[in-house]
Amino acid sequence: MTKTFDEFIRERKQLNNELVQDMYKNFLGLDLDIDSLWETGKSVEENEIQVGDILYFKMNEKEKRVGIANPNSKFVHFTNQGMKESTLNDDYWDVRFIGARRVIN
């Protein structure tokens, strides 16, 4: 049975990056880790981000975090409380944004 996006999200208790990896694997057949998605994807300028692009953030020296672009400079990411929508215009995310990649057309 094919799962809906909501069912897929609710079933998983994973770290944000692992969940994004699983989404690309389950829905698009791309079995790549976050770093490989960065290398494989086409670089996208911030003003050209489209729905579905992967946004990358540098949280500290060792940790990168990803989100998936939504309309209007927003993106979804996953926290311990579940899926959350944030905006690139927020100072917290703006200073951590390191780039976007388009893996699908």
Q: pTM value?
A: 0.77
pLDDT tens string 74-101: 998 877 677 788 999 899 999 999 999 9
Structure tokens at 29: 């057949």
- Count of structural domains, the chain: 1
Q: Give the whole-angstrom CA distance, residue 51 versus residue 73.
A: 9
Domain that holds residue 68: 5-102
pLDDT tens string 42-61: 999 999 999 889 999 998 88
Cβ atoms 101, 54 nearer than 8 A: yes
pLDDT at 102 over 70: yes
CATH of the domain at 46: 3.90.1720.10
Strands 74-79 and 97-102: unpaired
